[in-house]
Structure 1
C-alpha cells in the first residue's frame, strides 16, 4: 500500500484513498513547482545585473590607470632632475641644496597623491565587494526584499540620468545603498555635460585625454567633433588666423580618416558665420552643442558598459510588452464608457 509521510516526519502513516488522492497530488506538485519557479525567476533577475557589476569595475580600472600614469610621470621627472644635478659640474653648493629641496618637495607631493589614490582604490574595491555580496545574498526566501532594493536602484539610476542628484543622494542615504549606486560616476559626467551646455569644450577634451586609449579602441569620433566645434567657434568670432593655426595643430591629424567632414568645416573660413547656405549654416546653429551632449552621453555609457536608455525605461517597456490584454481596446471601451458617463453625471449632480 502506498503511504504519504506526515510533515513532522513521524513514523505514523495514513492510507491514500481516492478522495484524498487528488488533494495529495496537488500538494506534491505545488510544493515542487513553487521553489523551482522562484529559482527560475531569481536566475533571470541576476542576468539583468550586468551594469550593476561592470560600472564600478570599469571605474576601478580607470582609477588604477590614472594613478599609474601619475606615478610614472612624477618618478620620471624626479629621475631626470637627479640625473641633471649629478651631471652638472659647475653647480654650486647652494644650487645643489635648492635642487634637492625641490626634489624632496616633489616626492612628498607624490607620496600624498599615492595615499589619496590608494584610498580611492580601496573605496572602489570595497564597492565592488559590496555589490558581489549583494548578489550572493539573494535567495528564494528574501527575493521580495531583494527586489525592493533593486527597484530603488532602478529609480536612482533614473534620477541620476535626469540630473536629480540631491534627490538621488537622499534616497541612497535613507535606503543605505550608497555602495550599490553610481552617484560619483554620474557626477563626473555632469561636469562635462554642464560645460558643453555652457558651450565650453575644455572639460570634455580633458575627459577624452583621460580615456584616449579606450576611445581610440572603440573608434570614437567624439574628440574630433569637439575639435570641429572649437574651430567653428573661432570662425564665428572672426578669429581666422587663430582658426587656421588651430586646424593645422588639432584637425590635420584627422584628415586621413575624416577628410570630407574636415573639408566641409574648413569651407566656413570662406562662407563665414552669416552664410545662408544650409550646408554650412547648420554648423553655426546652437543645436550643435546639444548634439555634442548626446554624443558624450553615448560615449560615456559605452565606456562604462551602461545602456543609453535609463533602466526604468527598459524595465517599463519590457513589462508593458509582457502584459496580456484579455479584451480588445474597443470592447473594453464600449463596456466601460456607459459606466464612466453614469459616474460623471452622478458626481456632477451631487
Structure 2
C-alpha cells in the first residue's frame, strides 16, 4: 500500500480546492463591487440634477459582467478540481482492497459473548438508549444488567463537570479499601479538590474544618501534599495569586474524571479501554499484513486460515502487547507450558526442547549456541513471565 502516493494525490486535491475557493471568492467580490458601483450611479445626488439613464447604467454593468465571465472561470476551476478528485479516487481503488473478507479466519464465535461485548461498549460510552435498543434487537435481556454500574459512573461524571464532588467522594469512601489495594490515592485527590473549592470561596474556617475531618487520615502517608494544602489557608479567597495557584488548574478536574473512570472500571473487573475499541484498533493495524498474506497464499494455492500459526509476524506495536511472549531463537517457536523458556548458566535463554536436543542426555554438557560456555540440563532453570 503506497501511502506516500495517496498522500501526494490528496495534497494535490487539497491544494487545488484551496485555489478554487480563493478564485471563487475573488470573482464574487468583483461582481459585488461592480453591482455596488452601478447602484451608486443610479442614485440621484439632488433633485436638480439631470435625470439618470438607468438603462445605460445597466447596459454598462451587463457588459462588464460579460467581460469578467465569472461562470466560465467557475467552470474551468471546477473541471480542474474534478480531475484531481477522480485521480485521487482511482488511487484509493488501486491501493485499497474493498473486499477484506479474505483476512477473516475460520473461527467459531460465541454470539452471546460478542453481543455482551458490544452492549458493554455502548453502555461504557454513555450511549444508554442505543445500548438498550441493541440489547432488545439482539434478544439479550440478561445483558442489560451491565448498564447499571455505568449509569452510576456517568452520574458521577456529570456531577464532577458541575463542580459537585459529593457523589464521587461518597463512592470513593465506600470503595476506600479496594482503592488502597489498587495503590490508588483517588480518595485523597477528591478531598483535595473539595478543600481547594471551599478555600477559594474565602471560607478559611470551613476549609480548616474540612481538612481536619477528611485530610487528616491521609497525613501519615502523604505528609508533603497535606503541608502544601495547609499553606493554602493563608491565601483564602485569593489562591490564584498565591505560590499554590496550580491547585486551581482546570486540568485537575479533567484528570479526576479520567482517574475515576479507570478505577471504576478496575473495580468492576474490566479494563479502562473498551475491549471492542482495542480489538478494532489492533485489527486495523494487522489487516494490511493479513490481506497481503492471503493474496500470496492464494497464489500458491494454499489456505492460511487452516494454519495453527501465522507464517509471518504481525507487528502491532507496544500498545497492544499485554503479555510477555518468548520465542526460542533456535527453534523459532513460541514458548508454551509444555515448552517453557529455560535460563542457562551463561545467561542466554532457549526453549526446553532446544536444550533437550542440544544436551542429548541429562548429564552430558553442551555448548551454548551463542557463547563458548558449556552447560548441563540440570543447571538450566525454567523462567516464568
| TM-score where L is the length of structure 1 | 0.48
RCO higher in structure (CA 8 A, sep ≥6): 1
| TM-score where L is the length of structure 2 | 0.44
Higher share in helix = 1
Greater C-alpha radius of gyration: 2
